[in-house]
Amino acid sequence: QKEVEQDPGPLSVPEGAIVSLNCTYSNSAFQYFMWYRQYSRKGPELLMYTYSSGNKEDGRFTAQVDKSSKYISLFIRDSQPSDSATYLCAMSPLDNDMRFGAGTRLTVKP
Amino acid sequence: DTAVSQTPKYLVTQMGNDKSIKCEQNLGHDTMYWYKQDSKKFLKIMFSYNNKELIINETVPNRFSPKSPDKAHLNLHINSLELGDSAVYFCASSPVGAGYGYTFGSGTRLTVV
């Protein structure tokens, strides 16, 4: 079993839809949880960051962490074509041991 | 101003050659990393350096060697390139470790023929 599991998709939604992206993990020591967005032929960029359990909202994006279920989610409201990218979850038990999911490829159609 | 810059962006080379990829960050971060991203987009850490000391070294062939002349630079040297080394290599940096997130470079697409 991989430490971090993420459905690679692809996921295709119409513009304006609510998008739900998820990851599960097996290492209960993970404390830092992040979502990165990667456009084609670009490097990943940090989108959301959460420490331990709970929710965090930033504009149209909401990150949720459920440590009891070892499950994290990223919700995108009112999705736009510019949100089309690969979304990678990442998590770490310590300050310098980040583990990435395989990434979910999202397409938002106008 | 580019925060994390890598050169070259593209590298095509023959099997058996030796090549280097350079990385520089102007963010004042303490830790720098090298990641390999395969064709399925999976990111796997190769190395990280904190204050010029190697702190993570995953099961990477010893043909790969990181070199850090100072805190702002972490270069990757690859000897005797193999077909399986073809991938996108990303440099990243972070302040005081991963808890604050990484800033990635734009990647170096390596193709070994």
At B41-58, the pLDDT tens digits run 789 889 888 876 787 777
* pLDDT at res. B30: 87
Instruction: Please give the mean pLDDT across all residues of chain B.
Output: 90
At A11-65, the pLDDT tens digits run 999 999 999 999 999 999 898 999 999 999 999 999 998 888 889 999 999 999 9
* CB atoms A44 and B99 under 8 Å: no
pLDDT beyond 90 at B105: yes
Interface check for B43 against chain A (CB to CB < 8 A): the answer is yes
Q: Which residues of A touch B109 (CB under 8 A)?
A: 41
pLDDT category, B77, cuts 50, 70, 90?
Answer: very high
Interface check for B75 against chain A (CB to CB < 8 A): the answer is no
- Beta strand segments in chain B, E: 4-7, 10-13, 19-25, 31-37, 43-50, 53-57, 64-70, 73-78, 87-94, 103-104, 108-112
Burial letters A26-43, b for 16+ CB under 10 A, else e: eeeebbbbbbbbbeeeeb
Contact A63, A48 (CB under 8 A): yes
* pLDDT at res. A92: 87
- Kindly report the length of chain B: 113
pLDDT beyond 70 at B98: no
Interface check for A45 against chain B (CB to CB < 8 A): the answer is yes
Smallest CA-to-CA distance from A90 within A102, A99, A81 is with A99
Interface check for B57 against chain A (CB to CB < 8 A): the answer is no
pLDDT beyond 60 at A93: yes
B57 or B107, which is more confident?
Answer: B107
What letter would DSSP give residue B97? S
* pLDDT at res. A51: 84
Which among B40, B97, B101 has the least Cβ separation from residue A46? B101
* CB atoms A34 and B90 under 8 Å: no
- Work out how many CB contacts closer than 8 A connect A with B: 67
B88 or B71, which is more confident?
Answer: B88
Which among A43, A95, A105 has the least Cβ separation from residue B99? A95
Q: Which residues of A touch B103 (CB under 8 A)?
A: 46
* pLDDT at res. A96: 63
Concatenating the DSSP letter of every residue in B43-60 gives: EEEEEEEETTEEEEE-S-
